[in-house]
Amino acid sequence: MNKTRIIVHIISVILSFAFFSEGFSASEISTDEIRSILIDGSDTQVTQVLLYISRLKPAKLPQLLVKMILSDEDNRVKENAIRALGKYPVKQYVPLLLDVLKKADSFTVKKSIIDVLATSEDRRIVLPLVDELSSPFLAVRKSAILALRRIGDDRMFPSILSLGRKRDPIYRVYALEAIYHVYDKRLYYFLIEMLGDENKSVRYYALRCIENNNLNQALSQVRNLALHDDNYEVRVKAIEILGSVRDYNSLYVLLRCISDENNSIRRASAISLYLIGQSKSAYSLSNQLYRETDDSIKEIIIETLVKIKNGGGFKGLERVLAMDRNPKMRVLAAYALGEIRDRRAVSILLKALNDKDIKVKSEACHSLGFYREGIVVRQLIAVINREDSRYVKTAALYAIMSIGDKSSFLPLFDTYAREKDPVFKELLRSYLRGRIKKTL
C-alpha cells in the first residue's frame, strides 16, 4: 500500500469515529487531507468525508474545492469536489459558483454547477444561466433551461428573444429549445414568425413549441405547413400536431396529404386520421387503400375504417382481400369486413372462402358469422364439407353457431354422419346435441 493510500485509510478511520464525538471540530482534519480523500478515496470514504463536510462546513475548504473543479483532475474528482461544494449553503456561495460556471471548460462540470445553483432559486443566477442557453452542449442548455423555469424570472425573455434574432440559425434553434420549456404568451408572435423561417430546423422546433404548449390558436399556420412546406420532416410534424389535437377542421388537409408521394407523410396522415376518427374520411381512405403500396400504412388505414365503422364503398378492402400478396393484410381486411357490419361486405367475404391461405379463409368465416343471411350459412356448410383443414372447418362451424340459423341443423347432421376427423366430429356432435336439447 503506497503512502497516499495509507494516509487516506487513516483519515477514513478518523472520520468513522468523528461523528460520534461531540467536541469534534473542522480543524481536526485539514483541507489537504480532505482533498486526498476526494481524489483517492473509495466511494465509502468519499461518502464519509461528504458527511463530515455537510456537518462541519470547513471555512477554508470551498476555495480548495474550486481549484479542484477547475483543475485538470479526472471527472470523478471534479464531481466529488462539486458534491462537496454543494454541502455548503448554496445562496451564500452563489458568486463563487457563478465564477466556476464562467471559467469551467468541461460541459459536465457546467451542468453539475447549474444543477447546484438551481436549488438556490436565487435571482442572481438568471442572467448567467441565460448566457448558457447558447452553449454548444445540449446537457448544459437543458440544465440552464430547467433552472430558469424553476426560478420564473421575466428577465430571461428579452435575452431569449435576442438569441432568437441572431443570424446563425443554430441560435434560433437554441432559443426555441428554451421557449419549449418556458413559454410565455408574449412570445407567441415570435413563434409564428419562426414558422416562416428559411431554415427547416427552426420551423421544426417552432412546431414543437406550439405542440408542447397547446397553442391551438396557431393551427391555421400549422395546416399551411402540413400542406405546403418544402421539407417533409416539417410537414410530418405539422400533420402529427393536427392529429394529436383532434382538429376536425383539418380533415381536408389530412385527406390531401394521405395521397402524398412521400411515405412518411402518408403514414403521419393515416395516423392523424385514425386519431380524429371521422366517418367523412372513409371514401378517401378506401381509395388510398386501393392504391397503397406500404403495408404499415395499409394497416393503419384498415384500422381506421374499423374504428369509424365505414368501409368507404369497400373498394380498398375488396382489393386487399382479393389481391394483396401479404396474407397478413388479407387477414386484416377480412377481419375489418366483419367488424364494420355492412351487408355489402358479404359478397367480398364469400369470395375469400377460396383463398389459398387457411388463416385468410378462417378469418373470412369468422367475419361471415356476423351476417345472418341464408347464403352465408349455405356457403359455410359447403366450406365444412370440402375443406381438409380442421382449422378452417372449425372457424366455419363457429360462424354457423354464431348465426344460429335453424336451417343449418339438418345439413350439419348429414355432415356429422360422414365426418372422419374425430376431433371435428366431436365438435359437431356437441353442437348438434345442444341444438336437439333446446328443441325438446
| pLDDT at site 21 | 43
Q: How confident is the model at residue 12 (pLDDT cuts 50, 70, 90)?
A: low
- The answer to whether residue 143 sits within a structural domain is no
pLDDT digits (tens, 9 = 90+) for 338-366: 999 999 999 999 999 999 999 999 999 99
Mean pLDDT, the chain, whole residue set? 92
pLDDT digits (tens, 9 = 90+) for 397-435: 999 999 988 888 899 999 999 999 999 999 999 999 988
pLDDT digits (tens, 9 = 90+) for 83-133: 999 999 999 999 999 999 999 989 999 999 999 999 998 999 999 999 999
How far apart are alpha carbons 83 and 69 in whole angstroms?
Answer: 10
All cell numbers assigned to 24: 469534534
pLDDT digits (tens, 9 = 90+) for 315-337: 999 999 999 999 999 999 999 99
Domain limits at 414? 374-440
Region 33-59: what's the mean pLDDT?
Answer: 91
Q: What is the DSSP string of 349-398?
A: HHHHTT-SSHHHHHHHHHHHTT---HHHHHHHHHHHHH---HHHHHHHHH
- The answer to whether residue 193 sits within a structural domain is no
Which of residues 50, 69, 88 is at a domain's end?
88
- The answer to whether residue 241 sits within a structural domain is no
Which residue has cell 457563478?
98
- The answer to whether residue 81 sits within a structural domain is yes
| pLDDT at site 5 | 54
- The answer to whether residue 93 sits within a structural domain is no
Which of residues 88, 120, 139 is at a domain's end?
88
pTM of the model: 0.84
- The answer to whether residue 226 sits within a structural domain is no
Number of domains in the chain: 2
Region 378-385: what's the mean pLDDT?
Answer: 96
- The answer to whether residue 206 sits within a structural domain is no
Q: How confident is the model at residue 73 (pLDDT cuts 50, 70, 90)?
A: confident
Which of residues 54, 88, 122 is at a domain's end?
88
- The answer to whether residue 337 sits within a structural domain is no
| pLDDT at site 20 | 38
- Three-class DSSP category at 2: coil
